[in-house]
């Protein structure tokens, strides 16, 4: 079955974002899909957004506010 590469990786060869990759083993395909590397072509393949940790704009101000409380 054919899949679209959504994250560059090295398998049996180098695959780049947007390439078409053929994977015949369903278990291997599932592990690549779960890893966010490939997606079935019939779906919209978009890379997963990484969670961004919230950080205070001014850490010193945050510590200072806690000391005043």
Q: Answer whether residue 12 shows pLDDT above 70.
A: yes
Domain count, the chain: 1
Domain that holds residue 38: 2-68
Q: What's the per-residue H, E or C state across the chain?
A: CEEEECCCEECCCEECCCCEEECCCHHHHHHHHHCCCEEECCCCCCCCCCCCCCCCCCHHHHHHHHHHC
Q: What is the pTM of this model?
A: 0.58
Q: What pLDDT does residue 51 have?
A: 58
C-alpha 23/C-alpha 69 separation (Å) is: 59
């Amino acid at each position: 079955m054919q899949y679209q590469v959504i994250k560059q990786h090295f398998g049996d060869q180098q695959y780049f974002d947007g390439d078409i990759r053929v994977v015949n083993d369903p278990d291997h395909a599932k592990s690549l899909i779960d890893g966010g590397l490939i997606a079935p072509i019939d779906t919209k393949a978009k890379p997963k957004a990484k969670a961004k940790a919230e950080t205070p704009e001014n850490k010193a101000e945050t510590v200072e506010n806690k000391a005043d409380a």
